[in-house]
Amino acid sequence: MEYALRELEIPDHLLASSGQRFANYIVDYIAENAMNFGIIIILGYFMDTISASSDGFFFWRSTSLLQVFIGLFWSLTYYTMFELLTGRTLGKFVTGTIVVSKTAQKPTALQILGRSLSRLIPLDAFSFLFMSAGWHDRIPKTRVVRKSDYEQYIRQVDELDEIGKNQESL
């Protein structure tokens, strides 16, 4: 995956549609919760194994605050790691979209972390109903674009830059 080497404006036609964004949300919600459930089951098993409780499932009877923290930690980890390593979550792989900076470049680690933390804002998912870029796009200055269209756009810009360089050398 190649990103823009210089700052560019992202044309509106590259942005992911609201349907793609909704599909990203659904796929990521399912994947994140399935992984979270697996982690909680494994932790519950190990905590029950080492606990002094003889009637089992100490973890499930314990305060759900621990489970909330595990869920929040996993949510941050899921989005941050996937987007940091690939620019995409499982939902974005399914819909053919990718995260880029507002200037069409590869997002920085701080922008990715900002996206992940912004998702914890209550009602963040609904912010897309009222604006084209939701809070977890606006705050870290990122956008979600269709990957194939973005790559074609970057190639075209690079080709035009190359033509310009060739004209200057004449």
**pLDDT tier at 62, thresholds 50, 70, 90:** low
- Looking at the whole model, is its pTM more than 0.85? no
What does the pLDDT read at residue 132? 74
Structure tokens at 81: 């790691």
Q: Identify the residue whose tokens are 């190990």.
A: 46
Q: Does residue 51 surpass a pLDDT of 60?
A: no
Mean pLDDT within 148-156: 94
A 10 A CB-CB count for 30 gives 12
pLDDT tier at 58 (50, 70, 90 boundaries)? low
On the question of pLDDT at 146 being above 70, the answer is yes
**Boundaries of every domain in the chain:** 12-169
Note the pLDDT of residue 41.
80
pLDDT top residue among 56 and 163: 163
- State the pLDDT confidence band at 47, using cuts at 50, 70 and 90: low
Contact by Cβ (8 Å): 116, 158: no
Per-residue confidence (pLDDT) for residue 143, from 0 to 100: 96
pLDDT of residue 68: 79
Confidence of residue 30 (pLDDT cuts 50, 70, 90): very high
pLDDT at position 48: 61
